[in-house]
A and B are shown apart, each in its own frame.
Chain A
Amino acid sequence: MGVDDRSSRLNRSSVPGGRRRFLRLSVGLPVGLSGWLANGCSSPGSGGSTRTGAGPDPTAAAGDAIVVPKVNGGMNVHSLRCLSCAPTDETIDPALVALQLSAVYELGFDGIRIAAPFGDRNTFLSTVAYVRAARAVGIDAVVLLADFSGFTLAHALHGDESRPTVLKMYADVLAIPPEPTAPALGGLGPKGVGRIAFQILNEPAAFLGLPPDVYVQEILNPCFGDLGRIDPRIIVVSAAEVGNKAGPARIRAMLEAGLETTTNRIAYHIYERDVIPLLPSHVRAVVWVTESGVAGIPQHLPWVRDVFPEIRAQLPDVLRIFYYDLFDSDQGVYRILDIQPAGEGYRAVVESTELHDYWADKVGAAAAGRPLVGFSTLIPDVRAYFPTPADAAAFDEAFAEATR
């Protein structure tokens, strides 16, 4: 219908139906799935693997093994915390967190992008687990400060009184670096853990009705200032605009409104090949493509194999691309894998097998035959990274103050 039909998928995520409150996992994997899900999906002591295929084998214990080489860029992850539970249900199923993060780690991604909605308390808190655990294994976390619906967060970030409160809460809960799970994780944060980045809203014209110049001047600029005072280690990422032909004009309007001086990273979304030459090829900042993907499984591999290099070639400022996405509820569109109940746990079923194998092969090639440390070796129990009562209290306090 409109120009924004291919706007960001991240704000549209929904959790598919299924089971809830599983504390154990099963690992019945289909043929063709590489080994990265084997141990990664297992709860402690669940044993066995049905790994097949030619991918890397990140099952070795620490010793001469290396952490999985981070060679495949970034991945968009939804903070799935339970299947079919009510929004008011506070359950965070550790198996689901471990399942997605092990996939990200073992497929060699160096960053995740994940939403922490201010208007959805339980999802926000589940994001805490993803962010802390990812960073603990050396993976950067780009936290998207955006609501799935409504204007709660945008309104709070616009207000001069509420904005510092909200941003401080985000920083206090999400930005403190965890202890590394092993030496030489390869992350660029303290002690080799992953860095933290805050992306300020998502596709503001499409999802919030914020014109580009208004977004830069009334939202991003004050957020950038506040975050610099709160914690200068937080990388501020501007919102991207829609990844179709309506996007570049909005990005340009942001740039002409001063975008380069109000953020640490500029973000683009690219969902159409024709958009690439329309985006500014030289800006005075590092560019992250925080969403890029294509609908339809047969197109997945060509998109990553052919279009990603095209993006980097035509937009030299692009240093990182986050594929969209690891898992969502729409079969056969963007996601790489499906997550299904299996026994008392879950299993991951790879849908985009060609793309998965392409990534797995790159990891294998980078490992050069060396054994890889498995995710479950690094993080035997992901609950260690779950939000604490103090985190929940901080959220509640900030929410009450911002919405007063």
Chain B
Amino acid sequence: MTSLPLLLLLCFDPNPPASATPSSGVEETTPPETLRYPLGALPVPDFLAPGEPFTLTDILYGLDDQDGTRHSFAARVRFKDWGYLGAETEGERRGLTLMTHRVNAAVFSENGTWDFSGGYRGHRFLLSADALLRGPGDRTWQLEPSLSVLLTSGLELRGRLIADTAQPGPDRRLVTDSGVGVLWQRGARLEMLGEFERSYSTIATGDENQTDRGALSVVAQVGRVELDGQGSVQDVEGRFPRRDYDVAVQARVPITTRLLLEGGSENRIEKGAGELFHEYRGALTWYGRRFTLPRSGRVAERAVALARHAWETGEYELAAFDDDAIRAQRERLSLSGRRPDYREDMTSLYRAQVAERPLPLFGLEGRQTADSVSGETVRVASVFFGVPWPPSLPWRARESSVPFLQVGYQHEWHTTASAIDFRSGVDSMSVTTSLSREMDLVVQWSRIQPSALDVIRGVGVHQRFAASCVFARGR
């Protein structure tokens, strides 16, 4: 059923098959200034412009009516060239944030608990620390210092600790978690992260588990295909020792310039006992214009160039490959004393982002998970349709089209209590409206049938409504 329209759409694909290298003509054919959004044109921002003295950069409002209405609100401003100040509230959680060129800090409170964080970004090292002061009646702290060292523009060493002044467990241990890691970026096309962690946790019996975990993850762009693999081994020593293996793989394969096939799996296996968990996933997405994987195009090239330039000039930056991380990096660099040096790189990166903006117009996804400990099996099927701006039929989207509307539907089949095959489901609908690159409105509605556990807890059929409005300047 769905393959026929897809084939028809592909017949109208005016572009040749994707090449391994970005099309040099894309950026020039769609300069950001020429694009029209529902709110009008959006020029390339001046990323170095100081606040006057305060310039609004972010606004977020959210509403969630599950288990009572919950509002969230966040706002952030840029103050001259000095930094960014933010304030957030979500339910009972309230906080302030600060980001300057080298220093960041945040403080949040919720129901008597306080969460502090701070960091200093030096030339070749990044020192940060989180501190959680537990709630009323408990004046103990959880402290989490970490240190990262950037040896080259793409090689980072990481180390971290978690200390708990409550000294939990039979050994009254202060340090409950420690870990080291190595991150290696080889250009945009290969990224590897190796980590080792040792942690101590106290189970309900009062006994202590020592958990050693080693993990390796790799993201590689191999020709037209993006491969993502993760593997880990976890050894638990304690009263109930075991060893788990977790392997996850994912591939993203452009079938044509506009059609993307994704597939992946995750399996967690316990030695001797067999599979504890699995997830299988497949998705097919059709785009209204050429689609570029995040590590294969002009954006990837520019992101690497910007990060390398920043590193060479004394900044602590690794290459970032998604819009939010790139934006955060741009904001940090715009506060640097050497910011004029980065203007061209930042601007060309932004232009590349706009040029390679994804325009998803139709997608299907299927997913299946099974957890043998909880006994729950979940199958998910989802579909979405997109409408570009200026509005047109999907196959009439132009190279200058931008995302505008996306309507999605998802159904989940939950099977719990497998011996009696108890089934429940969740229906969800969402509408996302992009008024510009910087502003989105999202509305979601879900109808949730009770699982077996819900029935036991006395929870019946319930609904959830959520809405949010996001403005992010310079995204």
Contact = CB atoms under 8 A, between A and B. Distances in A.
Interface stretch (A62-70, A115-123, A150-158, A224-232): A150-158
Nearest to B455: A151
B419 A7 contact: yes
A205 B371 CA distance: 11
Interface in A251-295: 252-253, 255-258, 260-261, 277-278, 280, 282, 284
Main secondary structure of the interface of A (DSSP, over half): helix
B415 to A, nearest CB: 9
Contacts of B457: 158, 218
A155 B458 contact: yes
B19 interface: no
Interface stretch (B36-44, B255-263, B267-275, B466-474): B267-275
Contacts of A212: 373-374
A248 to B, nearest CB: 6
A207 B417 CA distance: 5
A207 B456 CA distance: 12
B453 interface: yes
Contacts of A252: 240, 242
B375 A206 contact: yes
B273 A209 contact: no
Given A154-B456, A256-B240, A209 B422 contact: yes
Contacts of A248: 273
A45 B303 CA distance: 96
Interface string A114-153: 0000000000000000000000000000000000010100
A211 B204 CA distance: 16
B456 A210 contact: yes
B152 interface: no
A165 interface: no
Nearest to B451: A209
Nearest to B452: A209
B456 A255 contact: no
A374 to B, nearest CB: 39
Contact of B373 (A149, A159, A211, A258): A211
A278 B272 CA distance: 7
B456 A151 contact: yes
B276 interface: yes
B419 A256 contact: no
Interface in A31-83: none
B416 interface: yes
A216 B204 CA distance: 11
Interface in B424-462: 451-453, 455-458
Interface residues of A, number: 43
Contacts of B240: 252, 255-256, 280
Contacts of B6: none
A208 B452 contact: yes
B456 A208 contact: yes
Contacts of A151: 452, 455-456
B418 interface: yes
Contacts of A284: 205
A21 B256 CA distance: 75
A339 interface: no
Q: Which of B372, B418, B451: most chain A CB closer than 10 A?
A: B418
A82 B419 CA distance: 26
A3 interface: yes
A212 B209 CA distance: 18
B418 A250 contact: no
B449 to A, nearest CB: 13
A217 to B, nearest CB: 8
A7 B452 CA distance: 17
B46 to A, nearest CB: 53
Contacts of B377: 2
A316 B79 CA distance: 69
Contacts of B7: none
Contacts of B418: 2-4, 7, 205-206
B191 interface: no
A106 interface: no
B1 interface: no
A158 B458 contact: yes
Contacts of A14: none
A209 B205 contact: no
A120 to B, nearest CB: 15
Contact of A249 (B239, B372, B419, B451): B372
Contacts of B8: none
Contact of B417 (A209, A245, A250): A209
Interface in B328-373: 372-373
B455 A207 contact: no
B358 to A, nearest CB: 38
A246 interface: yes
Contacts of A218: 457
Interface string B71-87: 00000000000000000
B393 interface: no
B203 interface: yes
Nearest to B376: A209
Contacts of A351: none
Contacts of A333: none
Contact of B204 (A205, A250, A256): A256
Given A249-B373, A257-B204, A261-B205, A203 B455 contact: no
Contacts of A155: 455-456, 458
A280 to B, nearest CB: 6
A195 B142 CA distance: 49
Contact of B420 (A149, A257, A282): A149
A349 interface: no
A214 interface: yes
A209 B372 contact: no
A245 B451 CA distance: 24
Interface string A319-357: 000000000000000000000000000000000000000
Contacts of A7: 418-419
Nearest to B238: A256
Given A4-B375, A155-B458, A250-B373, A209 B416 contact: yes
Given A154-B456, A260-B205, A277 B373 contact: no
B203 A209 contact: no
B48 to A, nearest CB: 52
B207 to A, nearest CB: 9
A208 B204 contact: no
Given A249-B372, A280-B240, 14 more contacts: A7-B419, A155-B455, A159-B458, A205-B373, A206-B375, A208-B452, A208-B456, A209-B452, A211-B374, A249-B270, A256-B203, A257-B203, A260-B205, A284-B205
Top 6 closest pairs, chain A to chain B, by CB: A209-B452, A209-B416, A258-B204, A209-B417, A205-B375, A206-B419
10 contacts: A158-B457, A158-B458, A206-B419, A208-B453, A216-B204, A245-B274, A256-B204, A257-B204, A261-B205, A280-B240
Interface of B: 203-205, 209, 239-240, 242, 270, 272-274, 276, 372-377, 416-420, 422, 451-453, 455-458
